[in-house]
Amino acid sequence: MRRTVALVVAVAAAVASSGCALRDELPDFPEAAPVVTAAPTDPGRPDAAPTTLSPDGFRTTERVAVRIRNVGCGGVGVGSGFAVGENVLVTNRHVVAGADTLQLSTYDGQDVLVETAGSAVVADLALVRTKEALPAAVTLAPADPAVGDRVEVVGYPGGGRLTSSTGHVLAYQDDPLGANAGRVMVTDAEARPGSSGSPVYDHEGRVVGVVYAASSAGDAALAVPVTTLQQLLESASFDADAPCD
Amino acid sequence: MTGWQGDQAPRADTDPIWATATGRNATGGATTGPGDAPPRATGGADTATNTTAAIPRPADPVSSREEQPPPPVRRRRRPWAWIALTTLLVLALAGSSALAAYLWQTTTAWQSETERVEAVAAGLQAERDELAAELDQSTRDLAATDQQLREAQDRIRELAGEKAQTADEREVARLLVTSVADVATQLETCVRGQDQLITALSDLEAYDPESVVQYAESVRAACTQALRGNEELQRIVGAE
């Protein structure tokens, strides 16, 4: 009697426990898999350039650069400049001084006709107004760069092709040439005759200075700080240049 | 068989109970004792007749010994236990069968699903490989295009520079031509003045000597300027 009851109970318990255990581990039927569709995703532009590119791939810092030819009494001189507006560019006073004719060309060789030119008195800076629109214009930095900051100079050294050189701000000092009032920037960016009027850019592509002199070795340059340029632009103290006699 | 044969048979003098209870001696009659088997008839028939006529007796030992032994006691069956056990086993069998069927269907479904997923995965893998190949090709094309763009930009800079320098040379040449023309004019003036001066000197009496001297000075100045211009021109040409 007891053995029979025990057997029944054992069988019942075994069936129940095995059933429960299996129920817990039973695999479910697979659900209908979603239809895989190749949804296009935008991977984004890798390595976006820090400066705006034109359709021809040139950087804005290059497109604003202008080559200036001064045809005057003393012959033919070459300098650099950069556009600060649609029809206005900045260069050095000594680049446009004594010009009988100013001839401009852009980074891609396009010629631009000049309307007028005016020079500042207190600094080696000049404004040139053009009849035709310039390709692009730059943004001026709100303050001068600090000593040690990385800078880039884009211009036409030697009157040759458009080139750029990089360096750092070495110091601020009084102008050794006496062409500027106030302190000027010294940088170790490469510059040569013909680089006069070249813009000095910071790492964001903003103008922080204007080159006006270079060392004889070409391993250092003097530049008018951007704060001086801003003051002159705001005061509009540029006098019209007179042609050579 | 009697239970009193052998060495263990109690004696009458040592077992007064049997004497009192049955009134028989130790050699006859049925006896019982604690721990023994149930009492069975072992004595003779005469003894039983003499002592207990009205008392019901057990079956005659002699006749009982000749009958078939009683059948063994059969235990009572309990059908409800077997019914329950059978029911449980049937239920277990049915459950197992259902479970097996369910597992078989599930396995089949999972196999089908696995095959489908593997097919989809193979398709995706093929698509991925194709896209990867296209990406590689696009990357190579982009690199080649970027290289071509850089070369084109470099060529644009070079051509722009050459154009500007050509214009510089043109302007220099134009200025040079202008300077040559100026020098030529000055030299022509010099030569013409010298011719006139020679004419005047050949007929000096016809001219005011002081005027001739002044004219000669102006001719000298013009020639000096022409010579300086020519020297400067020669210097520029030599430098070019």
pLDDT in tens, A99-123: 889 999 999 999 999 988 787 777 8
Q: Residue A70: what pLDDT?
A: 93
Residue in this structure with the two tokens 């001719």, named with its chain if needed: B219
Q: What is the Cα–Cα distance from B88 to B67, expressed in whole angstroms?
A: 46
Q: Return the pLDDT at B45.
A: 41
The residue in chain B having the minimum alpha-carbon distance to the alpha carbon of residue A40 is B131
Interface test with chain B among A162, A163, A192, by most B beta carbons within 10 Å: A162
Cα–Cα distance, A158 to A77 (Å, whole number) = 10
pLDDT at B36: 44
Q: Which helix (H) or strand (E) holds B165?
A: helix B79-202
Contact at CB, A69 and B157, closer than 8 angstroms: no
pLDDT at site B121: 93
Contact predicate A221/A169, CB 8 Å: no
Tell whether the torsion through CA atoms of B56, B58, B61 and B62 is positive or negative: positive
Q: Do B164 and A105 touch (CB under 8 A)?
A: yes
User: Residue A15 is nearest to which of B84, B95, B105, comparing CB atoms?
Assistant: B95
Instruction: Please name the member of A71, A107, A108 whose beta carbon is closest to the beta carbon of B171.
Output: A71
Residues 4-33 of B with CB under 8 A from A: none
* Of A184, A195, A201, A183, the residue nearest A219 (C-alpha): A195
Within 8 A of A22 by CB-CB distance, chain B residues are 99
Q: Which of B85, B113, B159 sits opposite A11 (nearest CB)?
A: B85
Query: A43-76 pLDDT, tens per residue?
Result: 555 454 455 667 788 999 999 999 999 998 778 9
Buried b (16+ CB within 10 A) or exposed e, A31-56: eeeeeeeeeeeeeeeeeeeeeeeeee
CA dihedral A50, A53, A58, A61 (to 10 degrees): -50
Q: Dihedrals φ, ψ of B61, to 5°?
A: -65, -35
Which of A3, A9, A11 to mutate to probe the B interface, most B CBs <10 Å? A11
Burial class (CB in 10 A: 0-12, 13-18, 19+), B115: exposed
Confidence (pLDDT) at A65: 95
Name residues 63-122 of chain B within 8 A of A (Cβ).
Answer: 78, 81-82, 84-85, 88-89, 91-92, 95, 99, 102-103, 105-106, 109-110, 113, 116-117, 120
- Sheet strands (E) in chain A: 65-72, 75-83, 88-91, 99-105, 111-112, 114-120, 126-130, 150-155, 163-174, 183-187, 199-201, 207-214, 221-225, 238-240
Is pLDDT above 90 for A195?
yes
Closest CB from B99, B106, B167 relative to A69: B167
Phi, psi of A63 (to 5 degrees): -70, -25
At B71, is the secondary structure helix, strand, or coil?
coil
- Alpha-carbon distance of B16 to B26, in angstroms, equals 10
pLDDT of residue B16: 41
Write out residues in chain B with pLDDT < 50, as ranges.
1-53
Cβ B22 vs Cβ B16: under 8 Å: no
Q: A7 falls in which pLDDT band (50, 70, 90)?
A: low
Facing B164 at nearest CB: one of A26, A28, A67 = A67
Residue of A nearest to B94 (CA): A15
Q: What does the DSSP 8-state code read for residue B70?
A: P
- Residue B88 has its nearest CB partner, among A8, A103, A109, at A8
| Chain-chain contact of A27 with B110 (C-beta, under 8 angstroms) | yes
* The pTM of the whole model exceeds 0.90: no
> Over pLDDT 90: what percentage of chain A?
48
Q: Which chain A residue has the Cα nearest residue B86?
A: A8
* Interchain CB contacts (distance < 8 Å): A and B: 104
Yes or no, beta carbons of A109 and B85 under 8 Å apart: no
pLDDT digits (tens, 9 = 90+) for A197-231: 999 999 999 999 999 999 888 788 999 999 999 98
**Is residue A198 within 8 Å of residue A161, measured between CB atoms?**
no
- Band (pLDDT 50/70/90 cuts) for residue A30 is low
Q: Which residues contact B11 (CB under 8 A, 6 or more apart)?
A: B26
Whole-number pLDDT of residue B154: 92
Q: Do B175 and A76 lie within an 8 Å CB cutoff?
A: yes
Instruction: Verify whether the Cβ–Cβ distance A11 to B106 is below 8 Å.
Output: no
In this prediction, residue A224 carries a pLDDT of 94
